[in-house]
Structure 1
Amino acid sequence: MKKIILLSLIISACEFRIEDSEAQETLDSIDIQFGDLNVDDRNMHYAYMDQNKDTLIAFVHGSPGSWSAFIDFFNADSLLNRFDMLSIDRAGFGNSGFGIAEPSMQVQAFQINEVLNQFPSKKKILIGHSLGGPVVSRMAMDFPDQYIGMILVAPSIDPEMEKDEWYRKAINTKVGALFTPKEFEVSNDEIMPLKKELEDMLPLWEQIKIPTIVIQGTDDSLVPKENADFAEKMLPDTLLTVSLLDGANHFIPWSHPKEIIKAIQDLSNGQGYYP
């Protein structure tokens, strides 16, 4: 019941898509470049800030969401001076074929990797929040030589934690769709098959060879903290650092941005990185 109430509050309070022009006005003097890449007939939209740095940090949002979930990081002085930044609309959200979900983690990983391949940065760090967590994890599995580190923020990565929630089947009907905002309909379409997707990824965790930081709230009612335990089981302690935030909920990018920024700085400084 608590989860349903929380979801209702999110639906009524959050704006998941903002126009690029509005985002540019929000950032004032920060120059953002917006781009689109066609990947197997799917438009992939992104926001990019070129600081002519050696390291690119790439943000991948949760479900629902859009690139603008990370807009405040584009305005963080501690990142502006050191990194190029990229944030992507995942398939089905924002301006990446809005309304048409892509349930495959492998396909989503390929799509975003294709976008990142456009940028020649010597070092690239992945940051994934919520369902963005398994997406960037799959990127690290399938393209192990392309990234130097990964940050998983409240990631939904443990298949055992994906429960069969009754309301998802209700949303996935013609009547349910009439009363469900499109963002949540797309979200539902990719979350319903997520358990199977995560099960398929189980034998691939050993392919991850980059340092990984998991940031998880202890009071997360949407993605249980046991997902951090799963990461400890699947990754060697030589690669993994887990940061549990006491009392934090699921919305860490907004409530605890400094922890994410510190994790980015740690990875860029070579923590656990073997060139």
Structure 2
Amino acid sequence: MRVRRLLGSKKFWCCLVLLPFLLIGCASAYISMQPRFDHDEFAWRRSVATMAGQMYQLSYLEGGDPTGQRVIFVHGTPGDASNWYDMLKHAPTGYQFIAVDRPGFGQTRPENAQPSIMEQARALGPLITVPERGKPILVGHSLGGPVVAAAAMLYGDKLGGVIIAAGALDPDLEEVMWVQHLGATPPVSWLLQWEFRNANFELIALEDELRALAPRLRDIHIPVTIVHGTADELVPYANTDYMMREFSGTAPKLVTLEGGNHFLPWNARGPLLDAITEMASKLPATRLVPVQSR
């Protein structure tokens, strides 16, 4: 009966017809936001990670001093390593900045979606567990926020700290619209570019993934800095209340950007660099030796 009512609804058929155009419009808006990116300016690298029995070739960009303090940047959804172009271009002296293509995005292969936050975090392992490089700092934007939090659970003793920029961690604030489920169902899903199809799969699974992470957040005992804008309409500022409470075991620092929106990798380089350098200044001095990129 419900199906018959749905199929007889003009609103349903209007949404179905307009959905591809809506998704194309969103994709165009997202692409137009990207900075001009010279792919020859930074070196593309590969590392190999095994997740859930599957081998991934993790693609990433390097900028800055190869022997400096390592900082690993993790993008949101959709996105790729080039989202952090402005940060890599302005890496301070004595820092090595690395921006990854998360599984399901950019040049990382295979291209299939990997909605598991914990498996996404495991993919960072080869870049984290390099003893001669000291303890890296992780920076995660949007959905990259829970990924770096999960990495703190897996690799806490090997990390110098995590910075969560406009991070989505409160499961109670996640909402999946019915149109997203429609977008994940063939033939509609076939109309989407693979990165946007993967992003939709991630967002549909996100609430359950965050609830699975929640019991372990208080076990994190490395430094945590939260950077969030009060005018963020995509990931509400209210996420900070949840994070300040759940990260209580590590006395997190909150940096509030009054009037700031969601797109911090593009418009909040200064506050992010301040958070990175402040966190790095509290790490034990380590003599870093040059290592060949993997």
Secondary structure of 1:152's aligned partner: strand
In the alignment, what sits opposite 1:249?
Answer: 261
8 A contact 2:161–2:223 mirrored in 1 = yes
Q: Is the 8 A contact 1:74 1:80 kept in 2?
A: no
1:37 aligns with 2:37: no
Residue of structure 1 equivalent to 2:275: 263
1:194 is matched with which residue? 206
Name the CA shift for 1:199/1:228 in 2 (closer, same or farther; >3 Å).
Answer: same
Q: Are 2:82 and 1:71 aligned?
A: no
- 8 Å Cα contact 2:128-2:159 kept in structure 1: no
Partner residue of 2:39?
23
Give the distance between the partners of 2:24 and 2:220, measured in 1 at CA: 36
How big is each residue's C-alpha offset from its partner over 1:204-242, in whole Å with a ceiling of 9 and x where there is no partner? 112211111111111111111111111111122853111
User: Does the 8 Å CA contact 1:37/1:115 hold for their aligned counterparts?
Assistant: no
Decide which of 107, 110, 119 is 2:119's aligned counterpart: 107
Instruction: State the shift of 1:98 in Å.
Output: 5.5
- Aligned-residue RMSD, C-alpha: 2.6
Question: What residue identity is the alignment partner of 1:53?
Answer: T
The residue that corresponds to 1:212 in the other structure is 224
**Alpha-carbon contact 2:224-2:250 (below 8 Å) kept:** no
Residue identity over aligned pairs, in percent, reads 29
| Whole-angstrom CA distance in 1 between matches of 2:107 and 2:123 | 14
Q: CA deviation at 1:100?
A: 0.6
What is the TM-score when the length of structure 1 is the normalising length? 0.86
Provide, for residues 158-184 of structure 1, a one-character-per-residue CA deviation record: whole Å limited to 9, x for no partner: 111111222211111113224323211
**Which whole-Å CA distance do the structure 2 matches of 1:99 and 1:238 have between them?**
36
What is the number of residues matched between the two proteins?
A: 260
SS in 2 for 1:123: coil
1:9 Cα shift? 5.2
1:162 to 174, 177, 183: 174
Name 2:94's counterpart in structure 1.
82
Which residue number in structure 1 is paired with residue 5 of structure 2? none
Which segments of 5 or more consecutive residues in structure 2 lack a partner in the other structure? Answer: 1-18, 287-294
Counterpart selection for 2:62 from 33, 48, 52? 48
The DSSP-based 3-state class of the residue aligned with 2:46 is: strand
Larger radius of gyration, structure 1 or 2? 2
- Secondary structure of residue in 2 paired with 1:169: helix
Partner Cα distance (1:263, 1:176) in 2:
42
What amino acid does structure 1 have at the position aligned with 2:174?
Answer: E
My pick for the range that moved more, 67-76 or 36-45, is 36-45
| Contact 2:118–2:150 under 8 Å retained in 1 | yes
Cα distance in 2 for partners of 1:221, 1:176 equals: 27
Whether the aligned pair in 1 keeps the contact of 2:64 and 2:94 (CA below 8 Å) is no
> What per-residue deviation string (whole Å, max 9, x for no partner) do you get for residues 134-178 of structure 1?
000000012110111110000011111111222211111113224
Q: Rate the CA distance shift 1:6–1:54 in 2: closer, same or farther, 3 A.
A: farther
- Check conservation: 2:49, 2:125, Cα contact below 8 A: no
The gaps in structure 1 that reach 5 residues or longer are: none
Q: Is the 8 A contact 2:62 2:88 kept in 1?
A: no
CA contact (8 A) 1:53 1:121 kept: yes
Cα distance change on mapping 1:9 and 1:110 into 2, 3 Å: same
For residues 122 and 257 of structure 1, the distance between their equivalents in structure 2, rounded to whole angstroms, comes to 24
- Give the AA of the match of 2:199: S
136-145 vs 38-47, greater mean Cα deviation = 38-47
Structure-1 separation of matches of 2:237 and 2:183: 26
Secondary structure of the equivalent of 1:48?
Answer: strand
CA offsets per residue over residues 174-203 of structure 1, 9 Å max, x none?
Answer: 132243232111001111111111111111
What is the CA–CA distance in structure 2 between the aligned matches of 1:144 and 1:227, rounded to whole Å? 22
State the distance in 2 between where 1:229 and 1:8 align.
34
Give 3-state SS (helix, strand or coil) of 1:225's partner.
coil
